[in-house]
Amino acid sequence: MARLIISADGPEKFDVWKNAFAQVAPDLTVCSWYAPETKSEPADYVLVWTPEKDHYPALSGVKAIICTGAGVDHLLRAPEFPHHVPLVRMGGTQTAQLMADYVTWAAISLLRQARTWAIQQADGTWANNCIARTTAETRIAIMGLGHLGSSVATHLARVGFQVSGWKRSASVLPGVQVYAGQDALPDFLKTADILVNLLPSTPQTCGLVTYDFLTNLPKGAGFINVGRGDHVMQPDLIKALDDGVLSGAVLDVVTPEPLPVTSALWAHPKITVTPHVASEASPVMQADYVAQVIKSMERGETPALLCDPQKGY
């Protein structure tokens, strides 16, 4: 059976990973990157999140690098990353469902302006500010319809939102109006009472969300960022909120992370910040996914979430 080396989350988390793999893939040999004896035998597969600089040379000889993140931009940007080695992104049903749950919560929070309730509660203010608008009366638009985006879109359509999505190339997703390509972006943005960013961070998408970009949305739209902090020009986002271009934002990703205590985002009355928690599946669910990837690669198959270094995700 294949040999998997785990570097993700450092030496402290190894036992958690080992137990998780023991439950779902007892045949897989699982070793810690940090154990001295690991160095003597080459790995078949490596599970990583943010490898140290000096880990990269040893990654260049493995059959695949599997990332515990759905986003792999940090790996692709590392000058030492061995681009010839297959890189597989995190997937699996729990990862997708957690993201769908988070975006549903964030969208309904924006719809009902739940941030106002939190502010009122903090100082004991009872003010009745009911918002009589339902999910069915709300258009939600998702940028990025990959593995996570399409699952989120399908879920939101089931919840009752009117859903559209934007991606590079045309495709069909039941219950979702799909816009494809750069030219379709302005029309797509017009459909967004709430805009969800689930794009991968690439040189093409980094810095995409500027003040001008946001003015394409219907006035007073909401914004949810579950992509990457670097998609957003932060001063532009704050200006858009202050000017009423946006009515609220929920940010699970920001730049930098952790968000410094001095950041203006924390106390902004229209911003809800969550600490990059939208979608991290349990170790057992992640281990199950990783074991499936390894089994399929051992059979000579190509994993569905294999990164294309040309596309950058």
Q: Which residues are part of the catalytic machinery?
A: 228, 276
DSSP state of 301: P
- Under the binding rule (CB under 6 A), the answer on residue 70 touching ligand GLV is yes
- Residue 48 or residue 70: which is nearer to ligand GLV going by CB? 70
Which residues lie closer than 8 Å to 281 by C-beta, 6 or more apart?
A: 90, 92, 94, 95, 98, 289
DSSP state of 163: E
Choice from 6, 7, 71, 250 touching ligand GLV (CB under 6 A): 71
Choice from 10, 18, 29, 69 touching ligand GLV (CB under 6 A): 69
- Residue 49 or residue 117: which is nearer to ligand GLV going by CB? 49
- Under the binding rule (CB under 6 A), the answer on residue 146 touching ligand GLV is no
- Under the binding rule (CB under 6 A), the answer on residue 307 touching ligand GLV is no
- Of residues 83-142, those binding ligand GLV (CB under 6 A): 90
Q: Which stretch binds ligand GLV (CB under 6 A): 34-42, 67-75, 117-125, 289-297?
A: 67-75
- Residue 44 or residue 252: which is nearer to ligand GLV going by CB? 252
Phi, psi of 11 (to 5 degrees): -65, -30
User: What is the enclosing helix (H) or strand (E) of 111?
Assistant: helix 93-111
Terminal CA-CA length for the chain? 29
- Residue 48 or residue 245: which is nearer to ligand GLV going by CB? 48
The single-letter code of the amino acid at 119 is I
- Backbone torsion region of residue 144, taken as left when φ is above 0, otherwise alpha when ψ lies between -120 and 50, otherwise beta: left
Site for ligand GLV, rule CB under 6 A: 69-71, 90
